[in-house]
Amino acid sequence: MTIKLAVIGADEPLAEALFKELEERNLPIGEVYALTLGEAEANTTFNGEEIPCQPVAGFDWAQADLVVIATRSHAAGHFVDVALAAKRPVLGLGEALAQHAQAVGLDPDHAEFPAGKLWLAPDAVASLIARVLRPLVASLGVERVDAFANLAVSAMGRAGIDELHEQVSQLFSLSGIDNAVFPLQIAFNLIPQVGDILADGRTQAEQATQQALGRLLGANAPACHLTLSWTPVFYGHGIALHLAGGAGLSIENVRTRLQHAPGIVLMDEHMPGGCPTPVTDAAESTDVFVGRLRAAGSGDNKSVQLWLVGDNVRVEAANLAQIVERFVVKQ
């Protein structure tokens, strides 16, 4: 049985990576509807076929068996409601759509599909952190996690990439800086505000990521304290992770478990250039690259600190594709 797939934001980097992931899985997708929130001038490619993008407004939702949201644009929220009203199953990213009343978070490895809901795949930050924590939390007694995540502008899609590029050009030409996607200048800057700030001081994105981490780690999930910051990098998130726990949490034990964990590449060489970076290591990969392991604490109170990077677009595309695959299998 083939399915018909509608992708909102088909002209975004995330959609491009999603199409590649779906091609590699060789799923029985009979028709792809490439929907754009912008002008219908772009084309996308799936299975070697060039597909012209069409405006999402006015689309006949009855044509699609599954709708995938491949953009973080606030404008997509309206069409989520329209597609759900048309009784279409909708899949998007948790960090972007977690506030939706009908949202249900899914683990790509164990996805079930409640009817009439918006299904949420984990965002890249939650996925990268969970990949590292899974082999550690239960066996080593990790009790607390502090994370500082540096987010690449591609998390905001083509608009985020374009804004950083344009601001760099404006700075070098000594002209004024324009910002629309990010709350402040992003070029040569850090902005520790990703999403609206809630009453408790967290942002909506931090809250959604913490919720996704809880779903991914289940009963073993330790207390997690998270700060997200926009970084002037086009692709690839970088995350500083500090783990605290009991006596079993040693640098030797962490290194041993990460060396054998699937989807993790350990790069812990103590030499110039021996640590992983988004550009030199993570680009175009779904793996998590880990380095800069170091220990702190004494007695029964132990702490291990590490640094990890991952290609945010590829990781999120893989999460979406994995859930699409499970949906297809269940049809």
Confidence of residue 114 (pLDDT cuts 50, 70, 90): low
Task: Report pLDDT for 237.
Answer: 98
Query: In sequence order, what DSSP letters do the residues of 118-173 get, joined into one string?
Result: EEEEPPHHHHHHHHHHTTTHHHHTEEEEEEEEEE-GGGGHHHHHHHHHHHHHHHHT
Q: Is 297 exposed, middle or buried (0-12, 13-18, 19+ CB in 10 A)?
A: middle
pLDDT in tens, 181-222: 999 999 999 999 998 999 999 998 999 899 889 989 988 889
* Least reliable range by pLDDT among 9-18, 76-85, 317-326: 76-85
Residue 297 has pLDDT above 70, yes or no: no
pLDDT in tens, 74-90: 888 889 989 988 999 99
Rounded CA separation 297/308 (Å): 21
Backbone φ, ψ for residue 145 (5° rounding): -130, 130
Distance, CA of 246 to chain centre: 30
**pLDDT, greater one: 1 or 158:** 158
pLDDT in tens, 222-232: 999 999 999 99
Confidence of residue 319 (pLDDT cuts 50, 70, 90): very high
pLDDT in tens, 27-53: 899 899 999 998 777 889 998 899 999
Task: List, in order of start, the domains of the chain with CATH numbers.
Answer: 3-123+316-330 (3.40.50.720), 127-312 (3.30.360.10)
Contacts of 9 (CB under 8 A, 6+ apart): 15, 35, 36, 37, 69, 70, 71, 73, 76, 157
**pLDDT, greater one: 291 or 96:** 291
Task: Report pLDDT for 93.
Answer: 86
Task: Report pLDDT for 198.
Answer: 92
Tokens of 3: 């399915």
Q: Across residues 311-317, what is the average pLDDT?
A: 97
Tokens of 55: 């405006």
Q: What is the pairing mode between strands 264-266 and 223-230?
A: unpaired
Cβ(109)–Cβ(95) below 8 Å: no
Task: Report pLDDT for 299.
Answer: 61
Q: Is 250 exposed, middle or buried (0-12, 13-18, 19+ CB in 10 A)?
A: middle
Q: Whole-prediction pTM value?
A: 0.92
Q: Across residues 288-298, what is the average pLDDT?
A: 88
Residue 27 amino acid letter: L
Cβ(66)–Cβ(92) below 8 Å: no
pLDDT in tens, 227-257: 999 999 999 999 999 999 987 899 999 999 9
Task: Report pLDDT for 33.
Answer: 96
Query: In sequence order, what DSSP letters do the residues of 101-131 get, joined into one string?
Result: TTEEE--GGG----TTSEEEEPPHHHHHHHH
Task: Report pLDDT for 118.
Answer: 86
Q: Where are the alpha helices (DSSP H) in 224-311?
A: 251-259
Report angle CA 307, 311, 312 to the nearest 5 degrees: 100
Q: Output DSSP code: residue 180.
A: S
Contacts of 237 (CB under 8 A, 6+ apart): 124, 125, 128, 149, 150, 151, 152, 155, 278, 309, 310, 312
Q: What is the 3-state secondary structure (H, E, C) of 33-85?
A: EEEECCCCCCEEEECCEEEECEECCCCCHHHCCEEEECCCCCCHHHHHHHHHH
Q: Across residues 164-181, what is the average pLDDT?
A: 93
Task: Report pLDDT for 59.
Answer: 93
Residue 130 has pLDDT above 90, yes or no: yes
pLDDT in tens, 138-168: 888 899 999 999 999 999 999 999 999 999 9
Cβ(303)–Cβ(253) below 8 Å: no
pLDDT in tens, 95-111: 677 777 667 776 777 76
Tokens of 138: 């239960």
